[in-house]
């Protein structure tokens, strides 16, 4: 067991996220049927509209993790269509910090460590880095909170979209 003195910053952030996951799950459960599940945006034509909508498999997997959902101190702003084998989820902290988390299939053999992981999915931040860039603390906690909510979805039996790739598989895309 790691002593408090030897705990890494990531371990401390993970402990904080786990502690807030109960609040996040309570908040999700409190959503009412009147909460909008899509964001209205001006769309010029049907092709453009289709390009801005997450697939039915993604919507089914995410369930109540949809635009407008509150995950503790974070709000899901948008769920984008799958991109390069991942599900981009735009989020915003109550402090106003906005970020994009990418949800990929988890691979325990993958060398690339995600910010938040479950047995089924891994959550990465889009911060323009290559894994060596420092993670913004607020965004990192948000990614961990999202991973907690996804853990609940997997536990409930949600099926991962078959198109979901691992980080290693994504790295080999052209």
Q: Are 139 and 97 in contact (CB under 8 A)?
A: yes
pTM of the model: 0.70
- Cα 135–117–163 angle (5° rounding)? 105
Give burial (CB, 10 Å; 0-12/13-18/19+) of 50. Answer: exposed
- Per-residue pLDDT in tens (0 to 9) along the chain, 174 residues: 444 444 454 454 444 444 444 433 333 343 333 333 333 344 344 444 444 567 899 999 999 999 999 999 999 999 999 999 999 999 999 999 999 999 999 998 888 889 999 999 999 998 766 666 778 899 999 999 999 999 999 999 999 999 999 998 988 886
From CA 31, how far away is CA 70, in angstroms rounded? 8
pLDDT computed for residue 103 by the predictor: 97
From CA 124, how far away is CA 103, in angstroms rounded? 7
From CA 57, how far away is CA 36, in angstroms rounded? 19
């Amino acid at each position: 067991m790691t002593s408090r003195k030897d705990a890494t910053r990531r371990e401390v952030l993970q402990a904080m996220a786990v502690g807030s996951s109960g609040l996040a799950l309570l908040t999700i459960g409190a959503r009412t049927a009147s909460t909008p599940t899509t964001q209205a945006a001006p769309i010029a034509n049907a092709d453009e509209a289709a390009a801005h909508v997450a697939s039915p498999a993604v919507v089914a997997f995410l369930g109540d993790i949809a635009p407008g959902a509150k995950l503790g101190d974070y709000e899901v702003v948008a769920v984008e269509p799958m991109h390069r084998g991942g599900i981009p989820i735009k989020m915003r902290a109550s402090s106003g910090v906005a970020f994009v988390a990418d949800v990929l299939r988890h691979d325990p053999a993958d060398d690339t460590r995600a910010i938040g992981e479950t047995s089924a999915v891994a959550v990465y931040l889009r911060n323009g880095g290559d894994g060596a860039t420092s993670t913004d603390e607020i965004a990192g906690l948000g990614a961990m909170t999202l991973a907690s909510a996804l853990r609940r979805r997997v536990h409930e039996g949600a099926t991962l979209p078959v198109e979901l790739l691992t980080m290693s598989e994504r790295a080999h895309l052209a």
